[in-house]
Amino acid sequence: MNNNTHSVQMLEFTEKGDERGHLVIVEGHQDIPFDIKRIFYIYGSDADVVRGQHANRRTEFVLINVAGTSQVRVRDGKGNEILYSLNRPHTGVYLPNMVWKDMLNFSEDSVLLVLASEHYDPDEYIRDYDEFVRIVNEGE
């Protein structure tokens, strides 16, 4: 199994603005590396709540804090982890498939927008970290 954490990266989106306010543009296969098939957002999470806690066999994600702040911890199942801070509404983090993701440290006003490459399929989620580690290291 390839180590997909090398593909995780921060993205910066086009931001336009004038006296009326700001507009951020995110287009599939232009600003992010996939077509957007699903959009959801997370809000109202307390600072001590950890969301995510899973890996996906197929789905890729881009996470953008459109309001407030949060952090995303990404682990590869081989002992490596990276912590990303999402604190500007025109930046996001790209997460390929087969990386473990935890979203945490939400500010009170946090709205975390998630763009996904696939429709929801519960069967492609790996929700047990030990199982994820086994799959990554055995190349299932």
Catalytic machinery residues: 54
Q: Are 43 and 110 in contact (CB under 8 A)?
A: yes
Helices and strands counted in the chain (H then E): 1, 12
Distance (Å, whole) CA 16 – CA 113:
19
Alpha helices (H) in the chain, listed in sequence order? 129-138
- Residue 79 CB coordination number (10 Å): 7
Give the strand pairing for 70-75 and 38-43.
Answer: unpaired
- Residue 87 CB coordination number (10 Å): 13
